[in-house]
Amino acid sequence: MKDINVLERIGQTIRTHRLEKGWSQEQLSEKSGVDRSFLGKIERGEVNVSVLTLCDIAKALSVNFQTLINSQHEA
């Protein structure tokens, strides 16, 4: 069974890093190449995002991939 909490934690981590930079979802979308509506679903933990997409987001946020997947944020 899929642990939805993992997806929610990853999404929250992305949102936190995005907001720390003062970026909108649209700005992160442009910098990462990830569709804005899909990015919103990722941040809400609604989709099982691919490793490659997470790498694109991490690069845009100037964090390493492990930062996104090893988050200890509560969903």
Burial class of residue 1, CB neighbours in 10 A (0-12, 13-18, 19+): exposed
Which DSSP category does 21 fall into? T
Res 74: pLDDT:
44
Residue 70 has a pLDDT of: 86
Please write the tens of the pLDDT for every residue from 17-73. 999 999 999 999 999 999 999 999 999 999 999 999 999 999 999 999 999 998 764
In this structure, are residues 17 and 61 in contact, taking their beta carbons and an 8 Å threshold? yes
Q: What CA–CA distance (Å, rounded) separates 40 from 64?
A: 20
Which tokens in the block code for residue 12?
């929250």
Give this prediction's pTM: 0.87
DSSP string computed for 54-65 = HHHHHHHHT--H
